[in-house]
Structure 1
Amino acid sequence: MDTTLKEIGFKSWLQENHKQITRPEKYIGAINTISNDLKRDFEINSLLEITEINNLKELYTLYFSVGKFEDKNSRGNRMYSRAFDLYIEFISENQENSFNDIVDIIKSNKEGG
């Protein structure tokens, strides 16, 4: 999925599932900041391109184990870790939905064929 589409999907998901968040674009900005930090300091591709939950969790641990990023998170009232947590939740739900869609297609093909 294109990163812009992923941002749009994440924003829509936030608006739908976390209505208390009044400015979802702040969370997208935080994810982009984390992504840029990971690219610069660890030579990791865009966070928005990673779809494996375990890889995202490993990057979460790696990112927040670095003092300067943990400090940034503290100064930002934990905005970065909250955004990362929500992004992992978003990807996880999308994987479940994709899996369920595939199961439904297989079931309908078996019933029809």
Structure 2
Amino acid sequence: ERFGEPDRVWPEEGGARTLEYNRQPAGRRNYMITIGTDGRMSALVQVLAPHHFAKVVPGMHEDQVRRLLGRPAKRTTYELKQQTEWDWYWSDGPGREMIFTVVFDAAGQVLRSGSSERLHEGP
């Protein structure tokens, strides 16, 4: 109840479900909360972190990436390249704003991914 309505509900084996709570683009966290068949929380995971990013590998489908990290903050399509980039904003400690980017081909498969420091524009 504290988190409000989930952005998406993912079914799990055995009847459990995982609730996706997206805090993008303003926030720097996305949460996955697993609720067992008894209605009790069995896990709460903040997924925008390097150990989760490491699970994104070339060939993975965009549905799998969405399930792992939640809805991205930004999606950009490059028609000529036939590629789409998804960005998630995350924090790597105080004052270190980061972007994790996944590049997909036209079939929705991961080509590459990586993090970089987010540069703020303007005054």
> Does 1 or 2 have the higher relative contact order (CA < 8 Å, sep 6+)?
1
> Hey, which of these two has a bigger chunk of helix by percent?
1
> Hey, which of these two has a bigger chunk of strand by percent?
2
Short-chain TM bin = under 0.3
Question: Please, what TM-score do these two structures have when normalized by structure 1?
Answer: 0.25
Question: Please, what TM-score do these two structures have when normalized by structure 2?
Answer: 0.23
